[in-house]
Amino acid sequence: MSSTVVIYYKPGCPFALRLRTALTMHRVPFTSIRFRDDEEGAAHVRAVNDGNEISPTVNVNGRWLTNPSWQDVVAARQK
């Protein structure tokens, strides 16, 4: 499976940490990006979240998920 999973997060966010840990434990490859490290990505996050930088927000091949479970991410990879 060659789906791209990108997690946008804020440092210290327990929800992002939980998601990244679960994806790692289930061997789901992903890339993590802090909001401040990618302003263009952060702008996309704000666009899909009514102007808010909600952590985590995940992009799976162009599909945006706000605060998803690891199962939601896996399901999105399979679509």
pLDDT in tens, 2-58: 579 999 999 999 999 999 999 999 999 999 999 989 999 899 999 999 999 999 999
The whole domain housing 54 covers 5-77
Q: Tell me phi and psi for residue 57, to 5 degrees.
A: -120, 135
- pTM of the model as a whole: 0.92
Q: How many CB atoms lie within 10 A of CB 44?
A: 15
| Length of the chain counted residue by residue | 79
Confidence (pLDDT) at 2: 55
**CATH number, residue 10:** 3.40.30.10
Give the closest residue to 6 by CA, choosing from 23, 18, 15, 14: 23
Number of domains present in the structure of the chain = 1
- Helix (H) / strand (E) element for 39: namely helix 39-48
